[in-house]
């Protein structure tokens, strides 16, 4: 029987065993760095102020219900078309706020211009895909309608106030 006379650092197995925890530690550091750079925007620091703001927002949805506003939205490519069921003394433009559920840097807002009596059309800065929240309001923000969009969509989506 022959004895192995190589020192331990010239053997393969000690390096394989040392590499496992080293690679795990490096991957953990990488994960922490990525999470610090891409933290989600879902946490609210001041819950009391957020609660009061939510109550104010609900009043605007109730105002839309009192005005009996009924509308649908269709997002096709980079164009959004809002169609109201009837003209209840609407302005020349309505305001659209697109909110991404987890990435605040993807949120955007714009005005849709009147195109005919019941239609409002807006060219979007991006072609949104995936899940989005849409809030439609008048210029003075007296009322609001909202919908959850799963894009791309092939049919109109009803805007509501619930």
Rounded to an integer, the average pLDDT of 83-96 is 83
Domain boundaries, the chain: 8-37, 47-159
Query: Is the entire prediction scored with pTM above 0.75?
Result: no
Is the CB of residue 93 less than 8 Å from the CB of residue 136?
A: no
Per-residue pLDDT reduced to its tens digit, 45-82: 566 666 676 667 788 888 888 888 889 999 998 999 99
Percent of the chain with pLDDT over 90: 48
Is the CB of residue 134 less than 8 Å from the CB of residue 146?
A: yes
Is the CB of residue 159 less than 8 Å from the CB of residue 136?
A: yes
Give the phi and the psi of residue 13 in degrees, each rounded to 5: -65, -40
Percent of the chain with pLDDT over 70: 86
Per-residue pLDDT reduced to its tens digit, 43-53: 555 666 666 76
Instruction: Look over the chain and give the mean of its residue pLDDT values, rounded to a whole number.
Output: 86
Is the CB of residue 122 less than 8 Å from the CB of residue 112?
A: yes
Rounded to an integer, the average pLDDT of 144-160 is 91
Please indicate whether residue 42 or residue 58 has the higher confidence score (pLDDT).
58
Cα separation of the two ends of the chain: 83
Is the CB of residue 108 less than 8 Å from the CB of residue 114?
A: no
Residue-level pLDDT at 126: 92
pLDDT band at 31 (very low <50, low <70, confident <90, very high): very high
Query: Is residue 129 pLDDT above 80, yes or no?
Result: yes
Task: Tell which residue, 141, 149, 142, 145, has the closest CA to residue 124.
Answer: 149
CATH class of the domain at 47-159: mainly beta
Residue-level pLDDT at 66: 84
Question: Which tokens sit at 80?
Answer: 């959004």
């Amino acid at each position: 029987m022959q004895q192995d006379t190589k020192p331990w650092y010239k053997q393969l197995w000690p390096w394989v065993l040392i590499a496992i925890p080293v690679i795990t530690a490096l991957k953990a550091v990488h994960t922490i760095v990525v999470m610090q750079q891409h933290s989600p925007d879902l946490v609210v620091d001041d819950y009391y102020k957020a609660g009061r703001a939510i109550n104010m927002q609900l009043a605007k949805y109730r105002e839309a219900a009192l005005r009996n506003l009924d509308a649908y939205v269709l997002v096709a490519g980079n164009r959004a078309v809002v169609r109201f069921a009837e003209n209840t003394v609407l302005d020349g433009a309505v305001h659209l706020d697109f909110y991404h559920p987890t990435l605040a840097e993807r949120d955007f807002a714009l005005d849709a211009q009147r195109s005919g009596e019941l239609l409002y059309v807006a060219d979007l800065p991006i072609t949104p895909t995936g899940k989005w929240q849409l809030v439609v309001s008048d210029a003075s923000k007296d009322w609001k309608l909202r919908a959850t969009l799963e894009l791309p969509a092939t049919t109109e989506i009803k805007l509501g106030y619930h």
